[in-house]
Amino acid sequence: MLSVVVSFITAFFATLFIIKLSRNMKNMLDHDLASVQKIHARPVPRIGGLAIYAATFTGTAVTFWRTPEVGAWVFLLVLCASLAFGCGIVEDFTKQVSAFRRLLLTMISVVIGYYVMDAKIVRIDIPLVDAWLKYAWIALPLTVLAVSGIANAINIIDGFNGLASVVSIFMLLSMAYVAFLVGDFHVMAACLILIGAIAGFFVWNYPNGLIFLGDGGAYFIGFMLGELAVLLVVRNKDVSAWYAVLLMIYPVFETIFSIYRRKFIRGVSPGLPDGIHLHMLVFKRLVRWTIGKRDAHALTRRNSLTAPYLWLLSLTAVIPATLFWHYQWVLVAFSLLFIVTYVWLYTQIVRFKSPQWMILRQRLRKKK
């Protein structure tokens, strides 16, 4: 598809331009190297979301040129995402937009999508609950909670080079495939355009971390993922609502588990950042390059070795969701299996009981 190629090329060169420009504009760089969630050794531009947003617009314009109806639909969806993207990109530049304000503006974006795109949760395939979802006073808050939660979840897992990007691409590929099967070419086109944009950014983000996604990119991608999942389900009765649940379960459960861990185990505010997310534990306790060099190159290498663990974890949900997208009870069973696997894995790592085959150790070379 031409729009995918155009979105990829646009993101590729726009990201490169940002990297080059940031050398002379220091306010584009992330100078915070000491925070508990920062795993980089030098200031890096964190406005990669700007390139992805621009590339999505460019790809949408090509789609509009070739298929006006589909292009106009995707363009409207991207416009709905603009508030969520805007608050994030302003935070990336200024570091002065609070988490509450970002969440609030993302929620407003969801409300706009609810009325403009008809992106609303009207069923979760549980009859007693579905009967109530015909009322807007129930469907609207549920939709706002779900989509804004996914946007925040993508921001939470965006901790290592390539992590959020590849996980998002996996989910978008799955939705594009299912949309193709049910003949929903509007959703399919939006997914493919976004895949091209993220892939163009990814080339510069992984493995060397020359640029970061930033809040703008994370909120934009997360919003689009949430909206497209809702739209795919609401527009196609054959697609189980539990397909969307299983597809998004890695970032969503990571968020829910983090809130539970902070609030009820550590007794601190759920909004307080910490360094014991699953991806942080993988970095600290599975990717063991702690002996030897501690320079920037070594840190970047450890960083790049972390994401593949979580890519594989996400695939344990994405693959069965894609294969069984219309079998509700199979999707429910895999959702429960993922939760059990996640909790077991987290518990094993945090207790220093990780399976030895999962641990990467530095190879000690004999001195000549």
Tokens matching residue 17: 């331009």
Annotated binding site for Mg(2+): 155, 215
DSSP at 362: P
Neighbour tally for 14: CB within 10 Å:
21
Neighbour tally for 337: CB within 10 Å:
14
Amino acid found at 126: I
Tokens matching residue 136: 């807007």
Report the distance separating Cα 127 and Cα 236, nearest Å. 17
Please name the residue ranges forming H helices in 117-213: 127-130, 136-157, 163-182, 185-205
Report the distance separating Cα 325 and Cα 336, nearest Å. 16
Annotated binding site: 155, 215
Closest C-alpha among 77, 82, 10, 80 to residue 48: 10
Q: Taking the mean position of all CA atoms in its chain, how far away is CA 208?
A: 19
Tokens matching residue 68: 């006006």
Tokens matching residue 249: 């379960």
Adjacent-strand bridge partners of 287? 360
CB 331 within 8 A of CB 240: yes
Q: Is 360 helix (H, G, I), strand (E, B) or coil?
A: strand
Adjacent-strand bridge partners of 44? 30
Tokens matching residue 273: 């950042």
Q: What angle separates helix 163-182 from helix 214-235, to the nearest 10 degrees?
A: 20
